[in-house]
Amino acid sequence: MQVYYRFNNISLLREPLMLITGFFLLFVACIVYMRTDMSISKSSPSYLAKLQWDEVQATVQKIQGIFEQCLAVHDKLEASLRDLSRTGDIQSCKAARKAADTQFKELSKDLKPLLATLQSSPQSYQILPKVEDLIVKEREMQEKLMTRHSTVVDSFEKKLRGQDVENRIALQQQKIAALRQEVESLLEYISEI
């Protein structure tokens, strides 16, 4: 038994033409979708909130940079104390302190407008208390470091023994180390937000 089929030539092309047309329409739909502007209106509250949050993040990054510079100045002061104990050069240690004072004043000036920007932004409600806490801790650490620096320089000027100098600054050293740890953990917390 044999069965014969007769197909119209157009019927043979129907399935491939349907596939080609389907893929063509899919690609045209993709092109139209990609070229269509689906962004949120620039006057919508969510878009404005996103812009404000981006501004807060940029401000926080600048604040982090300032505090990293402060920590670098702290390290320079520490290095000047190590050099003082090694070389006994009091004048270079005093010059390092004077330079550090100048840098701290400049960094404080740079910090004020950034802090004002954060305080005026409604999007900074969760990060502002941490930044303010960071400022307080860093200033306290700065004061303790300057006090310790003065104590060490005065002790070298009075030619006290090394053990006496260590006894005088031991408590200050512990407080400075604890404050530095707090400042670094706050900086890390702020960078994660």
pLDDT for residue 163: 66
Is CATH 3.80.10 the classification given to domain 45-192?
A: no
Every domain of the chain and the residues it spans: 45-192
Among 125, 145, 127, which Cα is nearest to 63's? 127
CB-count burial class (<10 Å; 0-12, 13-18, 19+) for 69: middle
Under DSSP, is residue 2 helix (H, G, I), strand (E, B) or coil? coil
Q: What burial letters (b/e) apply to 146-164, b meaning 16+ CB within 10 Å?
A: bebbeebbebbeeeeeeee
The per-residue pLDDT for 29 is 96
pLDDT at 25: 98
Distances (CA, A) of 104 to 32, 110, 135, 157, 164: 56, 10, 12, 25, 29
Say what the pLDDT of residue 40 is: 60
Sequential pLDDT tens for the chain (193 residues): 888 878 787 878 888 999 999 999 999 999 999 888 666 666 677 777 788 888 888 888 888 888 888 888 888 888 888 887 778 778 888 888 888 888 888 988 988 888 888 888 877 778 888 888 888 888 888 888 888 888 888 877 777 666 666 777 777 788 888 888 888 888 888 877 7
Sign, CA torsion 185/186/188/193: positive
Structure tokens at 53: 């949050």
> By the 8 A CB rule, do 139 and 74 touch?
no
Instruction: Tell me the C-alpha distance between 183 and 5, whole Å.
Output: 86
Nearest to 153 by CA among 98, 90, 75: 90
Contact status, residue 123 vs residue 53, Cβ threshold 8 Å: yes
In Å, how far from its chain's centre is CA 126?
15
